[in-house]
Amino acid sequence: MLENYLHSKGEEALYLGQQFSRSFIEKNIAPEDVISIHKTSIEELIKDMPADVSVSFDFLIEMMIHYGLALKEHQSLIRKQE
Amino acid sequence: MLENYLHSKGEEALYLGQQFSRSFIEKNIAPEDVISIHKTSIEELIKDMPADVSVSFDFLIEMMIHYGLALKEHQSLIRKQE
């Protein structure tokens, strides 16, 4: 899907990404995992990727872990209310 | 801070990033904004960045928008309970 987007750079692939993120949230996939999957995909797709960019993704993953935790808290709150 | 991390690749800078993300969440900064800031920083820092990598960040930003929305919902739930 990311490959499709990089090739087309189109709105359509972007829309697919949005749909995907919705199903990720429903499946309780953490935002840091999304970045991690993204990192792996981009490393496979782009052969001349500067090492610093890969490293920068690790930084982003760390930052997202707290967002993931905040979200998890939210999901358990919702379960309590149900 | 990201520059520091790229240079040192150290645990310390990673720890700073974690602290940062906590203050981002407290200030209601959305995860898609974190990626956006990250994209701008990395483009400034890495001169030989492949265009596809920049484009891939836009894709990631779109994905994070839904995580941001889920988080916002969480924060308004908490405010209601207070």
Please state, in angstroms and rounded to a whole number, the distance separating the CA atoms of residues A42 and B59: 11
Q: Is B25's CB within 8 Å of A66's CB?
A: yes
B23-34 residue pLDDT tens = 777 788 888 888
Encoded amino acid at A54, one letter: S
B27-75 residue pLDDT tens = 888 888 888 888 888 888 887 778 878 878 888 888 888 888 887 877 7
Straight-line distance from the first to the last Cα atom of chain B, in angstroms, rounded to the nearest whole number: 35
Q: What is the pLDDT of residue A69?
A: 86
Secondary structure E strands in chain B: none
Q: Is B59's CB within 8 Å of A20's CB?
A: no
Residues 9-68 of A with CB under 8 A from B: 9, 13-14, 17-18, 20-22, 24-25, 31, 34-35, 38, 42, 45-46, 48-50, 52-53, 55-56, 58-60, 62-67
- Report in angstroms the alpha-carbon separations of B80 from B7, B14, B23, B76, B77: 44, 34, 22, 6, 5
A32-51 residue pLDDT tens = 888 888 888 888 888 777 88
Nearest to A75, CA basis, from B73, B32, B21, B61: B73
CA distance A39 to chain B (A): 10
| Rounded (10°) CA dihedral B23, B25, B29, B32 | 120
Look up tokens 């359509």; give the residue.
A12
Q: How confident is the model at residue B14 (pLDDT cuts 50, 70, 90)?
A: low
Mean pLDDT over the full length of chain B: 76
Mean pLDDT over the full length of chain A: 76
